[in-house]
Amino acid sequence: MDRLVVMRTLAAVARSSTFSGAAQELGISPSLVSRHVADLEENLGVRLVNRTPRSVTLTEAGQTYAEFADRILTEIEETDERLTGRQVTAEGVLSVISPKWIGLMDLGAAIGGFVHEHPRMRVRLELGGISDRPYDFLDRGFDVAFHARDPKDSRVRVRRITELPFFLAASPEYLARRGTPQSIAELPEHDLLAHMSDATWRLLVDGEVAHVKVQNPIVATNAYLVIEQLVESGHGIGIIPRRSARKALESGAVVELLPESPVQSRSLYAVHGPGGQTPERVKVFLDFMTDWFRRTHVD
161-187, pLDDT tens digit by residue? 999 899 999 999 999 999 999 999 999
Domain span(s) for CATH 3.40.190.290 in the chain: 166-264
pLDDT at 81: 60
Per the CB < 8 A criterion, the answer to whether 146 and 137 are in contact is no
pLDDT at 89: 58
If phi > 0 it is left, if psi is from -120 to 50 it is alpha, else beta; for residue 141 that is left
Per the CB < 8 A criterion, the answer to whether 122 and 92 are in contact is yes
CATH topology of domain 166-264: D-Maltodextrin-Binding Protein; domain 2 (3.40.190)
What is residue 263's DSSP assignment? B
How far is it, in rounded angstroms, from Cα 29 to Cα 49?
Answer: 18
pLDDT at 185: 93
CATH topology of domain 92-164+267-295: D-Maltodextrin-Binding Protein; domain 2 (3.40.190)
How far is it, in rounded angstroms, from Cα 3 to Cα 44?
Answer: 11
pLDDT at 238: 97
pLDDT at 131: 77
Domain span(s) for CATH 3.40.190.10 in the chain: 92-164+267-295
From the list 162, 178, 199, 182, the residue with the least C-alpha distance to 257 is: 182
pLDDT at 220: 95
CATH classification number, 3-84, choose in 1.10.10.10, 3.90.1200.10, 3.20.20.70, 1.20.1070.10: 1.10.10.10
| Residues of the chain falling short of pLDDT 50 | 85-87
25-43, pLDDT tens digit by residue? 888 888 898 899 999 889 8
**What CA–CA distances, in Å, run from 8 to 38, 57, 84?**
14, 17, 22
Average pLDDT over all residues of the chain: 87
Burial class (CB in 10 A: 0-12, 13-18, 19+), 221: middle
Domain span(s) for CATH 1.10.10.10 in the chain: 3-84
Q: Longest Cα pair distance anywhere in the chain, in angstroms? A: 83
